[in-house]
Structure 1
Amino acid sequence: MTIRITALLLFFISIQATAQKLEYSILTLPDSLKQNANAIIRLNKVDIHISSQKSMTVNQYRVVTVLNELGLEDLNLVAHYDKNTRVSGIEATAYDSFGKEIKAYKRKDFKDVSVADGVSIFNDNRALYLDYTPVGYPFTMIFECKTETANTAFIQPWVPLEGYLISTQNSEFTITYKPELHLRYKEVNFSNGITLNKNETTGKISYTAKNLVAKKREDLSPDFYDVFPIVYFTLDYFALESVEGKASSWEEFGKWYYDSLLSGTDELPEATQEKIKELVGTEKNPIEIAKKVYHFVQQKTRYVSVQVGIGGWKPMLAKDVDKLGYGDCKALTNYTRALLKTVGVASYYTVVYAGDREMRDLQSDFSSLQGNHAILTLPTDNGLVWLECTSQVQPFGFQGDFTDDRNVLLIKPEGGEIVKTKTFTEKENLKTTTAQYQVTENGHLSGKVKMVSNGLQYDWSFHKERKSREDQIKDYKEEFSNINNLKINKIAFHNNVQQIEFTEELEMEAESYAQNSAGKLLFALNAFDQNAFVPKKYKNREFPFAIDRGYTDMSLTEITLPEGYVVEAKPEGIMLDNEFGYYKIEFIPEGNSKIVCKRKMVLKKGFYDKSKYETYRKFRETIAKNDNSKIVITKP
């Protein structure tokens, strides 16, 4: 009897053990990994095996403990596939905070979805995705996935610390490969005080990292790619959608790109060739010819994402774009290139990492499949001219903040070349404001404002003319948020696309702009050009900080005081000049009833050590304070 009871007890213990992952209990986590973390990567083990130029297998075993709702996005329960990549195995298992199994998920539980972006009309990329809704926090998810692909042109990087507010307990990354394929790698940000281990032998390289604590995002922190450790990988001998390639330099990579992806795509119908030649007429200036072609493309085509073809990298045929009237960035760039070629103007298809919030470079010292967007480059006697071929409203030759100031790849017939797109200076990014307003005895404000924007300030403003009146008013109320009860009575725009200059003219009013206290009126003289941004204060800042783009704001505001009032107290103004920029504001009386507020603020682009952060913060704090400095007027 005792033997039977003991056997039964062992049986239940065995079952309980199989249903638990005690090592993934929340109780086993060190407190240091929980601090500042929404999720903790308990283990991320990636094994990549490249058996040939056209064969790569990726095995992933990933264990993530999610501490709260914000950590859900770090689960990454997804596997992508297409006609050349298949998911040969996928499953997941959820555990509660003590490591007890909640539920196991097999392939049939994963949703099979198209990886569409909302605008793609053709898209052969798909994904298996587990839509998991937790019953409580914290919980742990084990995710196992195996993919097999013929595409070896892109090898995922090793990113041991995956982002802000995520800790990593254990990360293991291994690549085995045939030495004759020539694996290259690049280590970035390895000197940031994080312990990483590497082991390299012939045909194999591996990295490990343990107990990497979560980092908080700080105001003005540089991009993720400039802070966290990353290792990039590529092969000299690779394949993309059955097209083999060899490239150990950008020149060689560009030559392969041109020959394999662009060559033969620029054929146009005879009728279109004749039409574009007739449009150009007798014009001989390449820039003027390009303007006519660019405007032709803007009027004839529209942007539609097309994610098919060679990994989404090979453009649609130019003749198909001509027939259909649409295309994605690759197609429209290539179509414009083909039209220019027809009338004898050379241009280069150009690969770029696009994004207005993140200025990411193609790595000039590491040739590989990079970038997420295509633009067109014109070589001229006065330098390179950049064309955004997906926009129906962007002025010719104007490069906005979507692709400015970053390394890009020119694809030339003879090979690739890394160049930098235009960097707008703080002087070029100029906004000039002239305004007049009067304050009545009851504190009512009424006035006119004229704002003229150039450079990137143009890019940040000219979209307003295409918005609804309701949205325009909403924008202005946000822009002039320092003015309560604001009412916009008139809005007029002038968009000078030749000079790249956008003008806004407003008529507005606001009740109770000036505060009345015992017969005295108190209000900020600088009503229309305030900058209230003050970076957060840190006792111990960890990261350097970046000012991605510089600019200049200048304003001249004439204020008319109510009749019979005199100035009791007026701000004196201030001037600051340092490595971050320049600021000067003056309040100049003109007679008894008028004051002129004259302001200039210059912010310089830069990448700065964390030791300078507090100085910069105080610089911005002083600007915000003086922008809102107030006058007191009273009746004698």
Structure 2
Amino acid sequence: MKLNILPFFLLLFSVFSFGQKLEYSTSTIPDSLKLNANAVVRLSEINIDIISQKSMVIKAVQITTVLNELGLRSLDLSESYDKNRKINKIEATTYNASGQELKVYKRKDFKDTSVADGFSVFNDNRALYLDYTPIAYPFTIVFVTEVSTSNTAFIPPWSPVDDYLVSTEKTSLTIYFKPELKLKKKEANFSDKYALEKKETDSSISYSSKNLVAKKREELSPSFVESFPFVYFALENFALENVEGKASNWADFGKWYYQSLLVDTEGISEETQAKLKQLVGDEKKPIEIAKIVYKYVQEKTRYVSVQVGIGGWKPMLANDVDRLGYGDCKALTNYTRCLLKSVGVPSYYTVVYAGTDETKDLQNDFASLQGNHVILTLPIDNKLVWLECTSQLQPFGFQGDFTDDRNVLLVKPEGGEIVKTRVFAETDNLKYTKASYEINQDGNFIGKAKITSKGLQYDNEFGKERMSREDQIKNYKEEFDNINNLKINKITLNNNKDKIEFTEDLELEAEGYAQNSGVKLMFALNAFDQSSYVPKKYRTREFPFEMDRGYTNEDEIEITIPEGYIVEAKPNGIEQETEFGYYKIEFNTLSSSKILCKRKLVIKKGFYDKSKYESYRKFRETIAKTDNSKIVITKA
């Protein structure tokens, strides 16, 4: 009997096809987008509707195929909310490699959590997030959100590139707005390498791109926001936590900031004013008065974050900080400003991007709500002095690498001004090592070292004084990892906050520092400051490279060899001067038993074309090789 199998086949096909999205199948991704990729953004579509000065809706669809476990890092399955930011819709759907639907996640499946920073005593910011663990790779996830907010001061920037090692198949952003709100835009890092399409009308603007291949992160590359295309947006007429603002430039923006967020916070009690005047006494110099006030704030207050509504941007009342003894960066900075004002020393509340994250500079040509931190600026003797008011440890007037070398906004009553914080030159960031050691006939090492650090090198080192003895020893063993079997016998630290200078006096020893062959000993003369760093070699480099800070290391090390030994072979010194820096090391014979190793290394701050990368790499290779130069001594 002949069976008709066609209906049965169609039934199986219909069952298999139900819930299947063939366009989500991994097989439909072009091979070029899989190359070097841990994930592929199949579609990123963002639509922003700015309905009014106090109303904005953001709709987003992100479809991502995660190719391997590392690709999970590219997923952000979360959305934040607060009393002025509502999540109208949030859901996700997962698909397997062939595009078959696995599971749909609704709002109830998302976890609700505080986004407190660990320091906040008050924080109303929360987030919904999906804690998703895949059962197999690759998989595809569709993430859909809709958010409405009354804060139009923040319009998210757009980039066609999600991250390193992530390809993009199709991406777009569209913004609809009322012309009277005056949408501003800034395009950065646009080039022919990225095919971007833009459409613009009086009430809308859109950007799109497709088929962008994944890029590998390269050593010493500039930050992500400096390397890839970005578009930034802002309204001239905006709202922040129901406070309306208007600013076409930084002067206007700073004036709005002062009048809306600072002017009504300045009250200081008569009791505190009297106490300050007593502390200041007959002192007339503004810089010395400021030091007295700064010390008073450091001893009286501690850092605690407050992030509720406008409190995320508006500082606590100065009187409340005075009464409670704590505050966040805004509150403590404003409090210090108000104290200084009460004793006749002017200063400016200053907005900055702090830290070493991707974004470091406020954009001086694009006035908008920017920054993640606040410091204080004192105009004294035609100079600007910067104060970090959240720290109980930072010396007066010292910034460190948390806020150095970047554009900041001075908020003045008459308006805002963009200035640059201190740039530390390579000569400012000095570490000087004066040391001596002797080698005995067994190859053992015993020595002393005095290390003095200034500038940003001070910033790197002064935290050692707060370490436990155990952690100090661990740190030194890592620092001098070229000395095997190292034993630290004595540690004396001195933190001179007036000079901003940190000194380390060490006594140390090590068994078997020299290789001992019975009649000969071989060891590296430069025991205390070896640089082994050599940048990675690339067959073809794509990005420029950058040294964002320069520094200088100088060393004088006196070496004593054991009695009855003579020098059989001693390394030659070398001197190299390049556009990247300077290196000189010399090994001078002082007597039959003493050798002086003198070394100077200067690395310059700079931004360089990719064509120069190999020259820099060879410069560092020479330093690493020469720093480890060894002497051979033998019994006479």
**TM (normalized to structure 2)?**
0.98
Q: Is the 8 A contact 1:266 1:318 kept in 2?
A: yes
Q: Is the 8 A contact 2:225 2:358 kept in 1?
A: no
Matches within 5 A, 1:442-457: 442-457=442-457
Q: CA deviation at 1:133?
A: 0.7
Matches within 5 A, 1:51-70: 51-70=51-70
Residue 611 of structure 2: aligned partner: 611
Distance between the aligned counterparts of 2:78 and 2:374, measured in 1? 27
Instruction: Determine helix, strand or coil for the equivalent of 2:473.
Output: helix
Instruction: Determine helix, strand or coil for the equivalent of 2:401.
Output: coil
- Say whether 1:583 aligns with 2:583: yes
- Say whether 1:213 aligns with 2:197: no
Instruction: Determine helix, strand or coil for the equivalent of 2:184.
Output: strand
Q: Is the 8 A contact 2:225 2:359 kept in 1?
A: no
Instruction: Determine helix, strand or coil for the equivalent of 1:460.
Output: helix
Higher mean C-alpha deviation, range 357-366 or range 172-181: 357-366
Instruction: Determine helix, strand or coil for the equivalent of 1:160.
Output: coil
Q: CA deviation at 1:482?
A: 0.8
Letter in 1 for 2:466: R
Matches within 5 A, 1:542-561: 542-561=542-561
Distance between the aligned counterparts of 1:313 and 1:146, measured in 2? 25
Q: CA deviation at 1:597?
A: 0.1
Residue 348 of structure 2: aligned partner: 348
Gaps of 5+ in 1: none
CA distances 1:321-358 after superposition (whole Å, capped 9, x unpaired)? 11111111111101101111111110000000001465
Matches within 5 A, 1:92-491: 92-191=92-191, 193-310=193-310, 312-356=312-356, 360-491=360-491
Q: Is the 8 A contact 2:444 2:510 kept in 1?
A: yes
Letter in 1 for 2:393: V
Q: Is the 8 A contact 2:65 2:140 kept in 1?
A: yes
Q: Is the 8 A contact 1:451 1:503 kept in 2?
A: yes
Distance between the aligned counterparts of 2:449 and 2:298, measured in 1? 33
Letter in 2 for 1:133: T
Q: Is the 8 A contact 1:175 1:204 kept in 2?
A: yes
Check 1:106–1:9 CA distance in 2 against 1; reply closer, same or farther (3 A cut).
farther
Residue 79 of structure 1: aligned partner: 79
Q: CA deviation at 1:15?
A: 5.5
The alignment yields a C-alpha RMSD, in angstroms, of 1.5
Distance between the aligned counterparts of 1:274 and 1:594, measured in 2? 63
Residue 21 of structure 1: aligned partner: 21
Instruction: Determine helix, strand or coil for the equivalent of 2:338.
Output: helix
Residues paired across the two proteins, number: 634
Check 1:44–1:358 CA distance in 2 against 1; reply closer, same or farther (3 A cut).
closer
Distance between the aligned counterparts of 1:222 and 1:347, measured in 2? 33
Check 1:169–1:68 CA distance in 2 against 1; reply closer, same or farther (3 A cut).
same
Instruction: Determine helix, strand or coil for the equivalent of 2:215.
Output: coil
Distance between the aligned counterparts of 2:357 and 2:180, measured in 1? 40
Deviation beyond 2 Å, 4+ runs, structure 1:
4-18, 356-359
Q: Is the 8 A contact 2:224 2:358 kept in 1?
A: no
Q: CA deviation at 1:519?
A: 2.1
Check 1:192–1:602 CA distance in 2 against 1; reply closer, same or farther (3 A cut).
farther
**Sequence identity (%):** 67
Q: CA deviation at 1:5?
A: 9.8
CA distances 1:276-315 after superposition (whole Å, capped 9, x unpaired)? 1211111111100100000000001111121123161111
Q: CA deviation at 1:47?
A: 0.3
Q: Is the 8 A contact 1:267 1:317 kept in 2?
A: yes
**TM (normalized to structure 1)?**
0.98
Residue 493 of structure 2: aligned partner: 493
Instruction: Determine helix, strand or coil for the equivalent of 2:400.
Output: coil
Higher mean C-alpha deviation, range 311-320 or range 100-109: 311-320
Higher mean C-alpha deviation, range 518-527 or range 293-302: 518-527
Letter in 2 for 1:634: T
Distance between the aligned counterparts of 1:8 and 1:175, measured in 2? 50
Distance between the aligned counterparts of 1:227 and 1:478, measured in 2? 33
Higher mean C-alpha deviation, range 17-26 or range 458-467: 17-26
Distance between the aligned counterparts of 1:416 and 1:14, measured in 2? 65
Distance between the aligned counterparts of 1:500 and 1:515, measured in 2? 40
Distance between the aligned counterparts of 1:58 and 1:13, measured in 2? 39
Distance between the aligned counterparts of 2:192 and 2:475, measured in 1? 41
- Say whether 1:529 aligns with 2:529: yes
Q: Is the 8 A contact 1:91 1:144 kept in 2?
A: yes
Distance between the aligned counterparts of 1:456 and 1:68, measured in 2? 40
CA distances 1:150-194 after superposition (whole Å, capped 9, x unpaired)? 000000011110221111111011000011110010111111611
Instruction: Determine helix, strand or coil for the equivalent of 1:428.
Output: coil
Distance between the aligned counterparts of 2:26 and 2:6, measured in 1? 31
Letter in 2 for 1:619: F
Residue 49 of structure 1: aligned partner: 49
CA distances 1:448-487 after superposition (whole Å, capped 9, x unpaired)? 0000001111001001001111111111111111111111
Letter in 2 for 1:535: P
Distance between the aligned counterparts of 2:18 and 2:52, measured in 1? 38
Q: Is the 8 A contact 1:359 1:405 kept in 2?
A: no
Instruction: Determine helix, strand or coil for the equivalent of 1:279.
Output: helix
CA distances 1:232-253 after superposition (whole Å, capped 9, x unpaired)? 0000000001000000100001
CA distances 1:14-70 after superposition (whole Å, capped 9, x unpaired)? 564441121011111111111111111111100000010000000001101111222
Instruction: Determine helix, strand or coil for the equivalent of 1:263.
Output: helix
Q: Is the 8 A contact 1:555 1:598 kept in 2?
A: yes
Residue 631 of structure 1: aligned partner: 631
CA distances 1:222-280 after superposition (whole Å, capped 9, x unpaired)? 01111011100000000001000000100001011001111111112221111112111
Q: CA deviation at 1:390?
A: 0.5
Letter in 2 for 1:492: T
Instruction: Determine helix, strand or coil for the equivalent of 1:299.
Output: helix
Check 1:346–1:82 CA distance in 2 against 1; reply closer, same or farther (3 A cut).
same
CA distances 1:551-586 after superposition (whole Å, capped 9, x unpaired)? 100000000001111111100110000111110000
Gaps of 5+ in 2: none
Q: Is the 8 A contact 2:452 2:501 kept in 1?
A: yes
Instruction: Determine helix, strand or coil for the equivalent of 2:265.
Output: coil
Letter in 2 for 1:289: I
Distance between the aligned counterparts of 1:392 and 1:456, measured in 2? 18
Higher mean C-alpha deviation, range 260-269 or range 355-364: 355-364
Letter in 2 for 1:156: P
Instruction: Determine helix, strand or coil for the equivalent of 2:314.
Output: coil
Instruction: Determine helix, strand or coil for the equivalent of 2:72.
Output: helix
Q: CA deviation at 1:6?
A: 8.1
Distance between the aligned counterparts of 1:619 and 1:192, measured in 2? 32
Q: CA deviation at 1:620?
A: 0.5
